[in-house]
Amino acid sequence: MNANDSAGCPFGHGSNPASATPAASGDPTAVHYHDYLQLDKILGAQAPESDKHGADAHDEMLFIIIHQTYELWFKQLHWEADSLVGIMAQPAVMDNSPELQTVVHRLQRMATILRVLVQQIDILETMTPMDFLDFRDLLRPASGFQSWQFKLLEAKLGLKFEHRHGQEYYTAFLRGEHVDLIKSAEGSHSFLQLVNAWLERFPFLDQPELWEEYGARYGAPNFWSAYQQQYAGSLAEAEKDNLGYFEEVFGRQESTHYTLSARANRAALFIMLYRGYPLLQLPFQLLNGLLEIDEQLSTWRHRHMNMVHRMIGTRVGTGGSSGKDYLKAAADKHYIFKEIAQLTSFLIERRRLPELPKAVERKLGFMA
Please tell me whether 113 is known to bind a ligand.
Answer: no
pLDDT at residue 314, as a whole number: 62
Q: Report the phi/psi class of residue 203: left, alpha or beta, with left for phi > 0 and alpha for psi in -120 to 50.
A: beta
- Cα–Cα distance, 210 to 208 (Å, whole number): 5
Determine whether the annotation assigns residue 136 to a binding site.
yes
Cβ–Cβ under 8 Å, residues 264 and 200:
yes
CA distance 163 to 250: 21
Q: Is 64 annotated as a binding residue?
A: yes
Which pLDDT score, from 0 to 100, does residue 354 have? 94
Q: What is the C-alpha to C-alpha distance for residues 44 and 53, in angstroms, rounded to an integer?
A: 19
Burial of 175 (0-12, 13-18, 19+ CB in 10 A): exposed
Backbone angles phi, psi at 24, to 5 degrees: -70, -25
Supply the DSSP symbol for 188. S
Q: What is the per-residue DSSP string for 31-78?
A: --HHHHTTHHHHHT----HHHHTT---TTHHHHHHHHHHHHHHHHHHH
161 is in an annotated binding site: no
The pTM of the full predicted model, rounded to 2 decimals, is 0.86
Would you state the pLDDT for residue 7? 52
- Provide the 10 A C-beta neighbour count for residue 336: 25
Check residue 22 and give its pLDDT: 62
- From the list 152, 148, 113, 85, the residue with the least C-alpha distance to 299 is 113
Check the annotation: does 67 bind a ligand. Answer: yes
Question: C-alpha distances in angstroms, 129 versus 88, 135, 140, 175, 313?
Answer: 45, 11, 17, 30, 9
Distances (CA, A) of 30 to 24, 43, 295: 9, 22, 44
Give the chain's residues under pLDDT 70. 1-26, 94-96, 165, 167, 253-256, 314-327, 329-333, 366-368
What the chain holds in terms of domains, given with CATH numbers, is 62-142+191-368 (1.20.58.480)
- Residue 138's nearest CA partner among 215, 52, 44, 242 is 52
Going from the C-alpha of 19 to that of each of 6, 13, 23, 81, the distances in angstroms are: 13, 13, 11, 41
* Euclidean distance between CA atoms 59 and 63, whole angstroms: 6
User: Tell me, what DSSP letter sits at residue 167?
Assistant: T
* DSSP assigned state of 189: P
123 is in an annotated binding site: no
What does the pLDDT look like over 27-65, one tens digit per residue? Answer: 878 999 999 999 999 999 999 999 999 999 999 999 999
One-letter amino acid for residue 14 of the chain: G
